[in-house]
Amino acid sequence: MAFNPKSTLTIKNNGLKIALYGESGVGKTWQISTLDSPFIISSEKGLLTLSSLGMDIPYVEISSLKDLQEAREYLNSDEYYDAYNTLVIDSVTEIADIILQKEKENTKDGRQAYGSAQDQVIRELREFFNIEEKDIVMIFKSGRVEDQDTLRTSYIPIAVSDKFSSRIPYLFDEVLALRVRKDSEGQITRYIQAFNDGNYSCKDRSGQLYPEEEASLGEIIRVIKGAKGEGKE
């Protein structure tokens, strides 16, 4: 292979790969309403929130790995590729459970089932990441893990198993936690955490986000894609 050095300035934005996670009921699905021309691949029954807002967002429900693969082929086809700018999977946690359950049915070896499910989930995530020039948002449930050495508890996006969940942040450009804060008067404020504080596993590869951002995933994406390379302090 010929040695052909390139400049990082020539790297094009091939779409952001974002993991969003949070507790049940915190408003993860509502965040889809802030996105640019989204299409939802749903494995849950939680889209009533968007319907109640009068949001006309196309979606497909899936109940198997085959459904997921067919949805990806549909969205990446010449006929539909230009129709949507943001592809959303809600949620990866549920899809991983579907895959894991199928593997458990196919083998009596529990460890083999978990290993096979993990491999399939990673493969499917990467196949979606290969869809060019689309922002990919994958929603996860939040899980609590405890370090066996320090006994310190932290929160991470979960799928398949704790071991696999610890690998999830390395697959994404942005890992964001949707959280809530209650003030002294009982008022609740939602916000998106972008920095790892030791309690919540987060990261901002763009360097353009504050540790806490307003709870609008769409606005966060617009900030990152409109950035000129000057990170926030």
pLDDT for 193 equals 98
Tell me the one-letter amino acid at 6: K
The predicted structure's pLDDT at residue 2: 72
pLDDT value at residue 10: 60
Give the pTM. Answer: 0.91
pLDDT of residue 13: 59
Q: What is the pLDDT of residue 50?
A: 82
| Residue stretches of the chain with pLDDT short of 70 | 1, 9-13, 44, 46, 227-233
Residue 130: count of CB within 10 angstroms of its CB: 12
pLDDT of residue 146: 82
Produce one character per residue of 88-101: b if its CB has 16 or more CB atoms within 10 Å, e if not: bbbbbbbbbbbbbe
Query: So what's the pLDDT on residue 9?
Result: 65
Which one, of 190, 193, 163, 189, lies nearest residue 175 by Cα? 193
Cα atoms found within 13 Å of the Cα of residue 179, Cβ hemisphere only = 19
Q: What confidence tens digit (pLDDT) does each residue in 200-230 have?
A: 999 999 999 999 999 999 999 999 998 644 5
Residue 232's pLDDT is what? 61
Bond prior to 42 in cis (omega within 30° of 0): no
Of how many residues is the chain composed? 233
